[in-house]
Structure 1
């Protein structure tokens, strides 16, 4: 998917913007490649993601910063999702 990006790397720190959204805190690494003859370069982001295994049902919430990153990358929140809250945002039941 094509997105507007801005990358600034300054030694041990840096900034990564996707569609104007600062996702630097969620990025642990990146790979930028460009091929001769290709229309656009490719940016691969390695995101900090926490995983858990749950058997059965659970209430799932997404931290605002994670939802912002996912939205900047093209995620469409499900119907009923509160995108305006600054607290953990629960996903609606399926």
Structure 2
């Protein structure tokens, strides 16, 4: 009788690997969410700094006070506390 060597994975091995992947995914998801929120905050901070630096340069160059304001879609200044229409970015 000639027995051939079969290569591959058994159902048990596949189930163990899938269980390990599921456990790793379960533990890594919360840290991914925290990382994503921190990245969003960092991006907004960089955007704010990129807005403030030219305003500072203008104030120094003019020797006068420069005022920054949030704008709506029509590029009109918004009053403090007023939300943007349509959820557009300031």
TM-score bracket, shorter-length normalisation: under 0.3
Greater fraction strand? 1
Q: Which of the two has higher C-alpha Rg?
A: 2
The answer to which structure, 1 or 2, has the higher relative contact order (CA under 8 A, 6+ apart) is 1
Greater fraction helix? 2
